[in-house]
Each structure stands twice: as structure tokens, then as C-alpha cells.
Amino acid sequence: MSEQSQAHSQSPQSRRGPQRLERRVDALEQVLMQIYGPERLVLRAGKLQALKQLRSGDLTLKVLALEKLILDDPGITHVPTRREIPKLLRQLEDELADMIARRTLEDELEKKIAERMQERHEDYVRDIRNQILKEDGGPETPETLKKLERLSQLDNVGLSGSALDVVRPQGLDEVIGQDSAIDSLMAKLASPYPQHVLLYGPPGIGKTTVARLVLNAAKKFPQSPFQESAPFVEADGTTLRWDPREVTNPLLGSVHDPIYQGARRELAESGIPEPKTGLVTEAHGGVLFIDEIGEMDPILQNKLLKVLEDKRVRFDSPYYDPDDPNIPGYVHKLFQEGAPADFVLVGATTRHPEDIAPALRSRCAEIFFEPLAPEDIERIVHNAGEKLGLTVDHDAARLISQYTLEGRRAVTLVVDAYSTAYLSLGHQPKNLDRATIQRVVSRSRLSPVKPYITREAEPGRVFGLAVAGYHGLVLEIEAAVFPAHESGRGQWRFNDTAGSMAKDSVFNAAACLRRVTGRDLSQYDIHINVIGGGNIDGPSAGVAIFVAAYSALTRMPVRLDTALTGELSLSGRVKPVGGIPEKIFGAGQAGLQRVLVPAENENDLPSTSQRPEIVLVSTVDDVLREVMS
């Protein structure tokens, strides 16, 4: 191989060596520039007398400049040869790596030191601020003062008021249909020894209003223990919640221990528990009214009963130290003596007495509010109209009474009609007519409360009575009798959805029917049906079922102005049943003229004169004599 070709083949390698060195030198320069920044690097190079060398195009001079910069030594004057550069670059790279590591560590330490100093500074400032606030006697800051001003501005803005507040009764003389309940409650509260009371009745008839007004009236009696300032504290049993750890209990009160959120800062920092009183203490010396008391938690009810007996609420906490001189006096008093809670409990419920805890019932007198009659609703409607400054047509008031028997609902419909008429006219209406009420009723999607009953007499059709809540219902019962499909294998059929006690009434009726008629019932298929579903239970439909089957079997129609109730025994005697006042009220609502009631229920008859004719019966013979046309 010639020398020319050999030199040509080696030239690329000879060129790659210097290029690699130049790239390493440039990389070192770039790292330095990232560490110091372009401006600081120029200043540093000038200080170390390396600026001209750094900007030189000579590789050896640039390496000398980098050596001065990295080693921070302006006295270095030896210019390295190209042979010395690789070794020198390795040394400079190691030194630069150490420099970067030191700087990184220093930055992290400085950051942590700055954070720690900031925390100490904030704690110091906070302590100084709290000290200043204590010395100044107030916690106000510009921000809190701004919020206070905003709240004050909101207090100056308000609506004219609620129409329901306008029409709410302001005196006992304005309460409709509850004279007996008012007299009874007044006797319980105006006594020198007032009693705890449970109020029973359907919703929307004025239990809360009556309780508040009776307390106001009782304060005026000389024998009353209630002072003029006696409070009336309301609570709702469905929303009363409590924590078994006693961390929170709005009804009875609770202890906010230092470890729990809620204790005041100055107490929490000192490890002092803070008792906070509840509604029972707020009602001290007055009345605590709990609506829907039957929905309260049973354990909370038992705790309330204990307070009723002790007339105080006791507090306890493992953090309380009676010898701690830093504990305020009121905290000592609450822990050592408890909080006073001497009040009269008035509980209201829409449930029946048997659904209320016996322990609660045994401590309370019981008062029953009557369901409102249509004429009561009409009076309520007219009174509400007068308070709104208008008259309500009689037809309009009668229409409302056909769609609700709740006083609250009736007043709401009047207010809604008032707003509708006002919007339509653009000014205060003078009266409300039937058309306006009809519009409101239609868009409220209400159904008539008075059941529709056909008056056509036919064999096998009678009217029984039942109770739903505090209202009586008329049951339309029908019977059909056919020759048995198979001779001697007659069957009785009753609603499958009926309860077991109602089905037993069918078998009792069958026994009495066989005794009265003397017929072999195995020759008949008898079907008994309760129109509307028949989801009933209890023995009180026994007499009505017997009469329906008797009428169908004998083909004799029954008087359709009469309703029946009573349990039927196998011997044909009519036994007493419950819910007599409600059933009589329901029969009157349906327009029935007479109600057959077991003679043993005579003492359960309501005292009001606005009721159907009551006929007392003792046997099925008495029943048949009264109902057969």
C-alpha cells in the first residue's frame, strides 16, 4: 500500500480526536454557564483574568480559562498541551461534579432553613397577634369588621313577610274545631302543678299553634307557675340527632372535650372540657314542644325521661379536674351541679297511642285532637280570607272543604288563590271566587276527600267502616252467591290481600249465616269482595261481611244510608271494636245517615252533635232488623 493511500485511510480518525476534545470543552463551558448564568460567568472570568482566554479560539487557552474558573485560581499560567488536555479535562470534570453536588446540598439546606424560619416567624407573629388581641379586648380585624358590616346590611333588607304568618291564629278564639282539646290542654298547663302532655291527631289541625297559644294564656292565670318570660322551645323529633359518645346532643347538651373539634381555643389549649347546654335547658321554666315525638330515637327518649325525673342535665368528662385552678367557674358549676332543666314537655304525634313508647306515655297526660269537619274547613277558609283583606265566596270555601280536611292545607290553598288573583288583576283582590279556587286545586293535583258512593240498593251490598290514621273510611263490601260447582263442595272466597283476622271474620260470618238461615252452605259458592282492594285486617268488619252474605243469599237488599261496624262472635253476638269516633266521623263525611255500633262501645261515642244517627246493637238479629229494607 502506498503512503498516499495510507494517509488517506487514517485522516478521519485523526480528525475525530480534536473534535471530541472540543465538544468536551464546550460541554464544560455550558455547564458553568448553567451554574453561574451568562452574566455572572463573564464577571467571574474577568475577575480571574480568564475572559480573553475563554473567548479565544485556541483550544489550549480555553482549557486554561476553564481551569481557572473551576479551580477559582487566577495564578494558573501553564498552558496545557493537546496531549495534556484529556487528563486535565477529567480532573476538571471531577472537580465540577463535586461543585455541583455541594451546591445542590447547600440549596436544599437553605430551602429547609428558610421554611423552618418561616414557620417560626408565623408562630411568632400569631402569638404576638393573639397577645395584642387579648390586650385590646377584642378579636376584631379589618376583615371581620367588613363581614360584620355586610351582615348588618343584610339585616336591613327583608321581604314584607309570609302570608302564612298573617293568617296564623293569634288567639285561642281563632282556632277552629278543637274546643275540647283546648280546654283539656289549658287544664293541664294552667294548673299549679302542670303536667307533661302528649297530643294526638292528624297533621295540619293546629297542635303546635294551640300549644303555643295555651302557654301564653296560662301565664295570665294567678295559679300558673309560668312566668311572663317563660319560653316556648320547639323541636322536631324527626330531625333530633345525637352522638352516642355525647360529643354532640342538641336536645340534652354535650361536652366538647379538648381533643374534639368544637371546644373554645383558650379552653382546648389548656386541656379544659367545655359543657354546652341543650334545648332542655333553654326551655327551663317553660314548655319544650317536640313535634313528631314518636319518631325520636328510643335511646334519646329514655335519656329525655331521665331529665324529666331529675329536672337537671348531668355532664361528665375524663378531662375534667375539679382541682384545676384554670377552669372557669361556670364549667365547675355545670360539672358539679348540672344544668337546670325544669320544664313541661308537650309532645305531638300523628301516630296512635299504641305506637308510642309505654315509658313515655306513663309520664304524660294524653289529649286527642279531633279531625276537622268540612264546615270547620269552611270557617278556616273565611277567616284566612279576612286576614288577607278579602272575602271568599261560599262556593269557593265549600270547594276547598271537598279537597282537604287539613287546616294548614286549606290556608295554603287560600294563600295560593290570593297570589293567583293578585297576579291576574295586578292589584289587591277583593274576593276569591270558585273559578280561582278551582284553578289552584287543579294545578295542585288534589283528590276529593269525600268518597264517591253509589246509592243504588242491590242484594249483597253493604257499607262497613275502617280507620286509616285518624280518619274513618267507608268500605264498600259486596257478596255474590252461586250454586256450588260441585254439589256438597261449596267454597267461600275473600280478598287475598286481607289479613288473617279479617279472613277469620268470614268464617265467623259463615257460622252465623248457617245458624240464622238454616241452610246448608256447602251447596253454595260465596264470594266476598271489598271494593277498592280489600287490604284490611282486624275483626271489625265481621258484622258487615255477615250482612253482605245474608243479603246475597236471601236476595234481600240492605239500606244504603247505614254503615256497620263490630266484631261477630260464633254465637251471633256483636262485640266491641276500636276507632269508633273516627269511624262515625268517616260515615258522616260519606253522607251516611246512620251507623250501627256495638252496644258495648256506648262509652266511646263522640260528644259532638254533628254526627250520623247512632244505633246500638248487641246481636245479629238486632243488626238484621235495622238494615234490611
Q: Could you give all domains of the chain from N- to C-terminal order, each with its CATH number?
A: 1-158 (no CATH), 178-368 (3.40.50.300), 374-444 (1.10.8), 461-627 (3.30.230.10)
Of the two residues 467 and 134, the one the predictor is more confident about is 467
Whose grid coordinates read 292565670? 221
Residue 391 φ/ψ, nearest 5 degrees: -110, 150
Residue 414 has pLDDT above 60, yes or no: yes
Mean pLDDT computed over 373-385: 91
pLDDT higher for 262 or 615?
615
Q: How far apart are CA 137 and CA 132, in angstroms?
A: 8
Residue 86 has a pLDDT of 85
Of 199, 219, 196, the residue nearest 210 (C-alpha)? 199
Report pLDDT for 17.
59
Nearest to 290 by CA among 347, 251, 344: 347
Mean pLDDT on 405-428:
90
What the block records as the C-alpha cell of 32 is: 458553568
Dihedrals phi, psi of 313, to nearest 5 degrees: -110, 125
For 185-243, how does the pLDDT look when each residue is reduced to its tens digit (9 = 90+)?
999 999 999 999 999 998 888 899 999 999 999 999 999 999 999 999 999 999 888 87
pLDDT of residue 524: 84
Is a pLDDT exceeding 60 seen at residue 38?
yes
Q: How much is the pLDDT for 13?
A: 47
The dihedral through the CA atoms of 277, 282, 285, 286 has a sign that is negative
Handedness of CA 253, 255, 259, 261 (dihedral sign): positive
What was the pLDDT predicted at 76?
A: 84
176 pLDDT above the threshold of 60 = yes
Give me the pLDDT at residue 451, please.
Answer: 64
Does pLDDT of 270 surpass 70? no
Give the C-alpha distances (Å, rounded to integers) separating 21 from 64, 69, 88. 14, 18, 11
Residue 396, all three cell numbers: 269557593
- Per-residue pLDDT at 11 exceeds 50: no
Distance CA(421)–CA(149), nearest Å, equals 40
Among the residue ranges 189-193, 197-201, 303-307, 538-542, the one predicted with the least confidence is: 538-542
pLDDT tier for residue 248 given thresholds of 50, 70 and 90: confident
SS3 per residue for 201-261: CCCCCCHHHHHHHHHHHHCCCCCCCCCCCCCEEEEECCCCCCCCCCCCCCCCEEEECCCCC
- At 103-127, the pLDDT tens digits run 888 888 888 888 888 888 777 777 7
What would the mean pLDDT of 77-97 be, rounded to a whole number? 83
- C-alpha dihedral, 165 to 167 to 168 to 172, nearest 10°: 150
Q: What pLDDT is attached to residue 409?
A: 92
What number is the average pLDDT over the span 568-588?
A: 87
Q: Give the residue among 464, 489, 468, 467 at the shortest CA–CA distance from 479.
A: 464
What percentage of the chain carries pLDDT values higher than 70? 88
Query: Is pLDDT at 10 greater than 80 in this prediction?
Result: no
DSSP 444-463: HT---SSPP------BTEEE
Band the pLDDT of 132: cuts 50, 70, 90: low
What would the mean pLDDT of 492-498 be, rounded to a whole number?
70
Edge-to-edge, what's the strand order for the sheet holding 524-530?
492-493, 524-530, 471-483, 461-468, 562-564, 594-598, 613-617
What pLDDT is attached to residue 8?
A: 44
pLDDT bucket at 288, cuts 50 / 70 / 90 = very high
Is pLDDT at 3 greater than 70 in this prediction?
Answer: no
The answer to whether residue 354 scores a pLDDT higher than 60 is yes
- Over range 436-456, report the average pLDDT: 81
* CB atoms near residue 77 (< 10 Å): 8
The per-residue pLDDT of the chain, averaged, comes to 83
Whether 546 contacts 509, CB under 8 Å: yes
Contacts of residues 327-335 at CB distance under 8 Å and 24 or more positions apart, as own/partner, are 327/272, 328/272, 331/267, 331/272, 331/273, 331/274, 331/275, 334/275, 334/277, 335/275
Query: Is residue 336 over pLDDT 70?
Result: yes
What DSSP element (H or E) covers 402? helix 394-403
Q: Which residues share a beta bridge with 219?
A: none
Lowest mean pLDDT among 184-198, 414-428, 439-453, 523-537: 523-537
C-alpha span between 566 and 412 (Å, rounded): 38
Q: Does the pLDDT at position 262 exceed 70?
A: no
**Structural contact between residues 516 and 620, judged by C-beta atoms closer than 8 angstroms:** yes
Q: pLDDT band for position 4 (50/70/90)?
A: very low
Would you name the residues annotated as active-site residues? 540, 583
